Structure 1
Amino acid sequence: MKSTPSEILDYRCRLESPTSVGRSGVSQIYQTHVIEGEGHEILRELFPQLDNKLLNEYDIRNYSLKTELRFFVNGILLNQNLTKDIEWLGADRFTLETVLRKELCLKFENQIEWKCNSRVTQLIVDQSSNIVKGIKYRCKQNVGSPLFDMYGDFIIDCSGRNSSSTKWLKESLNLIVPTVQMHFGCGYVTFVGERFKTENPTLDSIPVICSTVNAPDKNAGCYIIPMRTIKTSDENSLGTLAQISIHCVNSEFPPNDSYENLLEWIKENLDPDYYSILKSTKVYSPLIPYRRAIDDRRYVESLGKKWPQNYILLGDAMCTFNPQFGQGMTHACRQARGLAKIFAENCHKLKDISHVFNSRASAISEECWLLSTTNDWKTPTLKIIKTDKNGQTKTYQRNGDFPATKDNQLRLPLLTKILQWYIDSFLKCASKSGQLSTDFLHVMNQQASIFILFKPTILFAVCYTALMNCFNLSK
């Protein structure tokens, strides 16, 4: 909290482990954290001074998707002639968290009390009233330290993808939350580096270069996103400090033992442009791996009034996604805004707010879930684990060592199959259309529902193009 901007940058680039700055358990603190369009707007509404401080005090980059982005989705380059500009805020998680906490303290002063270096261990409940009354917590540094009680009128679990709420609710209230987990072998290696000139001026002129995976044909992708502009006297430097993320699916993990080995892997698995850029990049940080990302959805809305009063899951605690689309933080911001609206409506009893929120928040999760999982279903070694409301668990796996029976064969849902075909056809049209590319980026930035891609005029154009290509009549 007391670190200066320069000290934060030094931490971000040079520490071997985030635990040394008090963020144990958050290895992805080194990961690029893009605040998508809608999430950026929500943060600006909540904290009017946030942009100014990030941009001017911490030198965080704010960039235009219309003029500064080259984006490949499923192997197809989106048309760069966008009809409307969209802004991204690119920040490393450590800087963003630190600045947000400072803003919270400034905005609410003595209304906030931080319990740092503490871990929640269980819930305090009233089973007869189906209420979560509080939590028990202890000091992180000492496993044998005594437990402390904390009570609250309304309790929010926003502890992220490793939330223990489903376990605690089962232990305390015998409540089983239906879940679906999709394991698609996601992993990535991230680091910070200074970009230098390549032999291709066109590449050097583009600050943001991104490519999603395109399973099963191409199971690796890359995000190169500027985080700060730096002063340099080296004429070959582009004056940009960038966060680079090499990500994969199907467990085809990039190495992190040395940059030389990573470059060899990039040369074999990514397009030559990425190898050219990264070969000329000077690395300033450790190569940080992360290999635990899955799609994980908790269907809290299906429990209705069985769900406890005064308690909710928010953001990744409710639903997590493939990180390559950068949906998580904006998803959480949208749900938080939705919760604020429920309180502002001032027409719900406190005991009903969790049920109202679960219904509305799940609709937000569904939009992000469709976008993420449609692509993840293409993974050759996909594994899905489903738990129903009775606690029965079934595992389904494709092309693995898992002994498949008739009951647990992995079948592609019809809606997903249709979406895969349609999105692939849509992207081919978008490669030639600035308007369609703009529509797609609006969906990705959660500024519009995925269903705007099915407007009658767009649907007709996509189907017509697909038919022309199918019969080789495109010429």
Structure 2
Amino acid sequence: MPLQDFLALLKNRHEHPLVTLNSHSDDPRGQLVRNPARNHAIVLGGSIAGTLAARMLSETFREVTVLDRDHFPAGAAPRRAVPQGRHIHALLARGQQILDELFPGLTDELAALGAPTGDFGTTLSWYFNGRMLEPAETGLICAASGRPLLEDRIRARVRALPNVTFRDRTDIVGLVASPRGIRITGVRVRAQFEGSAEEVIDGDLVVDATGRGTRTPRWLVELGYPAVEEELVSMDLTYTTCDFAAPLPFDPIGGNIAIIPVATPEMPRGAIFARLPDRYAVSLTGILGDRPPADLDGFLSYARSLPVPEVYKAIRDAEPLGDPVSFRFPASIRRHYERLRRFPDGLLVLGDAACVFNPVYGQGMTVAAIEATVLGRHLAQGAPEPRRYLRDLARAIDAPWDMSAGADLGFPGVGGRRTLKVRAANAYIPRLQAAAVTDGRLSRAFLRAAGLVDPPQALLRPNIAARVLGRGKR
């Protein structure tokens, strides 16, 4: 099929029971909307998605409680329950915009704490197949704070809200439901202290933001609901990170933020080499069983194999701040809650509990922020009707999922469903990236779409497609 036809297709696109019952009214669905109860909202999970959910809920509920099994550290430190927190995290441009709207001055606060900031198109060097995109001003801000600092500052802002309470070291045992499971009326928990008894916390709304380990699909089945359909893209990713002391003996970043050799089917080893507030960090990535080593010599040898030699040259004589740390990510998972014909009132999902993205593309925190705005819109309209909310949530997930899952499916060994739309994108996007090596307008368009500011369809606008196809002919 000719590429132009592809573009047209792209454009048109028997243990302790986990659920208990109580004697709350089991009135027909929709009562919650007609008679809003806005006393108490419960958020399961206190990571970034859960904290953002609490921020939105605080505007319409008298009391919001955030529950988490982990201990919240005092200050910016990695958390035990977030093993990926020790690795480089990116906040895409749309995420930065939303967080600055929800927490005015946050980017300036991060910068004052040492986070390097700059334009996504000029202070980050993007490489595809060993060739750097032409630098171009995008008007989009990158704040390279690292996850622990960003999470700490967001949590501090939400903790300061008078109607929000964080309760850590608390295990979530299960949901509490009305007799026929039509409504979720609270949760059962147990504090992680010796002798603690199980207790029930009543709530008018429960939001599951427990991440990739969510038990909502299992709880729904135990309540008599159908199984949630899951879509998997299996890439068997491993990324290994090592931190290095500043200054570097050889520093190719200078006053900029990062060098990013992006993994491609032609050059499947990738990396992120970033300047952070107090150090430099390198995350090496490998897919389909190619695992960057977690010993320093192996780490350096892997870095030497990258198509961008500056990464290895910068760290070969640098001082490591500890041993490399690896994290394995077997598959991206999208849970299609919006396809369920029945869903209990009083329960919503958010963040990785709805969709787990390949972390290489840095979408997780930004999509959580986008989903928080979806929650905010539904809260402003009254008590959220779950199925309507879940349909809107799915629409918010569509674009980032198409971009990351589609990119992964460009690797022949990756498992997943390759639709005609996916194959069309994987014929077009590499040509756009190649053309952007010498065309700043294409660099800008690509980075604005990758930053989730512009929709993917923006890359198919006539003025963009003509530049891509024209350069291909030349």
Fold in common (TM above 0.5): yes
Match of 1:381 in 2: 413
Shift of 1:129: 5.8
Residue type of the partner of 2:245? Answer: E
Match of 2:46 in 1: none
Match of 1:218 in 2: 267
Match of 2:328 in 1: 291
Shift of 1:459: 2.2
Q: 1:170 to 1:140 in 2, by over 3 A?
A: farther
Query: Does residue 271 in structure 1 map to residue 308 in structure 2?
Result: yes
Question: For the Cα contact (< 8 Å) 1:195–1:280, is it kept in 2?
Answer: no
Match of 2:128 in 1: 73
In structure 2, distance between residues paired with 1:244 and 1:158: 29
Shift of 1:186: 0.8
Residue type of the partner of 1:275? Answer: Y
Query: Does residue 93 in structure 1 map to residue 129 in structure 2?
Result: no
The within-5 A match list for 1:220-239 is 220-228=269-277
Match of 2:298 in 1: 261
Residue type of the partner of 2:355? Answer: C
Among candidates 266, 273, 290, match of residue 252 of structure 1: 290
Match of 2:185 in 1: 133
Question: For the Cα contact (< 8 Å) 1:212–1:221, is it kept in 2?
Answer: yes
Tell me, what secondary structure is at the counterpart of 2:219?
helix
Residue type of the partner of 1:72? Answer: Y
Question: For the Cα contact (< 8 Å) 1:76–1:427, is it kept in 2?
Answer: no
> Any idea what the Cα deviations from partners look like across 1:174-224, whole Å, max 9, x if unmatched?
33110012210111012322244556x765464311111112x32211111
Question: For the Cα contact (< 8 Å) 2:111–2:143, is it kept in 1?
Answer: no
Match of 2:99 in 1: 43
Q: 1:124 to 1:74 in 2, by over 3 A?
A: farther
| Runs (5+) with no aligned partner, structure 2 | 1-71
Residue type of the partner of 1:96? Answer: L
Q: 1:145 to 1:218 in 2, by over 3 A?
A: farther
Among candidates 276, 281, 288, match of residue 318 of structure 2: 281
Query: Does residue 170 in structure 1 map to residue 170 in structure 2?
Result: no
Residue type of the partner of 1:444? Answer: A
Among candidates 82, 85, 91, match of residue 29 of structure 1: 85
Q: 1:105 to 1:203 in 2, by over 3 A?
A: closer
Q: 1:285 to 1:141 in 2, by over 3 A?
A: farther
Shift of 1:150: 1.5
In structure 2, distance between residues paired with 1:92 and 1:59: 11
Question: For the Cα contact (< 8 Å) 1:125–1:173, is it kept in 2?
Answer: no
In structure 1, distance between residues paired with 2:339 and 2:345: 15
Match of 1:122 in 2: 174
Q: 1:66 to 1:462 in 2, by over 3 A?
A: closer
The within-5 A match list for 1:392-471 is 412-466=418-472, 468=473
> Any idea what the Cα deviations from partners look like across 1:144-181, whole Å, max 9, x if unmatched?
85322112111111111221211111122333110012
Match of 1:327 in 2: 363
In structure 2, distance between residues paired with 1:360 and 1:432: 38
Match of 2:400 in 1: 368
Residue type of the partner of 1:122? Answer: G
Question: For the Cα contact (< 8 Å) 2:115–2:276, is it kept in 1?
Answer: yes
Q: Sequence identity of aligned pairs in percent?
A: 22
Relative contact order (C-alpha < 8 Å, sep 6+): which is higher? Answer: 2
In structure 2, distance between residues paired with 1:462 and 1:134: 54
The within-5 A match list for 1:96-107 is 96-106=150-160
Question: For the Cα contact (< 8 Å) 2:409–2:415, is it kept in 1?
Answer: no
Q: 1:280 to 1:105 in 2, by over 3 A?
A: same
Normalising by structure 1, what TM-score? 0.79
Q: 1:270 to 1:458 in 2, by over 3 A?
A: closer
In structure 2, distance between residues paired with 1:379 and 1:194: 35
Of 277-286 and 452-461, more deviation after overlay is shown by 277-286
Among candidates 308, 313, 329, match of residue 344 of structure 2: 308
Question: For the Cα contact (< 8 Å) 1:161–1:317, is it kept in 2?
Answer: yes
Question: For the Cα contact (< 8 Å) 1:196–1:280, is it kept in 2?
Answer: no
Tell me, what secondary structure is at the counterpart of 1:173?
coil
Residue type of the partner of 1:181? Answer: L
Normalising by structure 2, what TM-score? 0.79
Tell me, what secondary structure is at the counterpart of 1:285?
coil
Question: For the Cα contact (< 8 Å) 2:188–2:201, is it kept in 1?
Answer: yes
Shift of 1:443: 0.9
Shift of 1:383: 3.1
Question: For the Cα contact (< 8 Å) 1:220–1:269, is it kept in 2?
Answer: yes
Residue type of the partner of 2:314? Answer: I
Question: For the Cα contact (< 8 Å) 2:329–2:358, is it kept in 1?
Answer: no
> Any idea what the Cα deviations from partners look like across 1:400-444, whole Å, max 9, x if unmatched?
xxxxxxxxxxx6321111110011111122222111111111111
> Any idea what the Cα deviations from partners look like across 1:358-410, whole Å, max 9, x if unmatched?
111111111011110111113343234xxxxxxxxxxxxxxxxxxxxxxxxxx
Question: For the Cα contact (< 8 Å) 2:338–2:391, is it kept in 1?
Answer: yes
Q: 1:211 to 1:195 in 2, by over 3 A?
A: farther
In structure 2, distance between residues paired with 1:94 and 1:264: 28
**RMSD value, Cα:** 2.3
Question: For the Cα contact (< 8 Å) 1:72–1:211, is it kept in 2?
Answer: yes
Residue type of the partner of 2:444? Answer: T
Of 158-167 and 133-142, more deviation after overlay is shown by 133-142
Q: 1:81 to 1:42 in 2, by over 3 A?
A: closer
Residue type of the partner of 1:251? Answer: G
In structure 1, distance between residues paired with 2:173 and 2:422: 38
Question: For the Cα contact (< 8 Å) 1:125–1:131, is it kept in 2?
Answer: yes
> Any idea what the Cα deviations from partners look like across 1:235-257, whole Å, max 9, x if unmatched?
xxxxxx2232111211201011x
Shift of 1:284: 1.4
In structure 1, distance between residues paired with 2:197 and 2:249: 58
Question: For the Cα contact (< 8 Å) 2:144–2:257, is it kept in 1?
Answer: no
Question: For the Cα contact (< 8 Å) 2:124–2:257, is it kept in 1?
Answer: yes
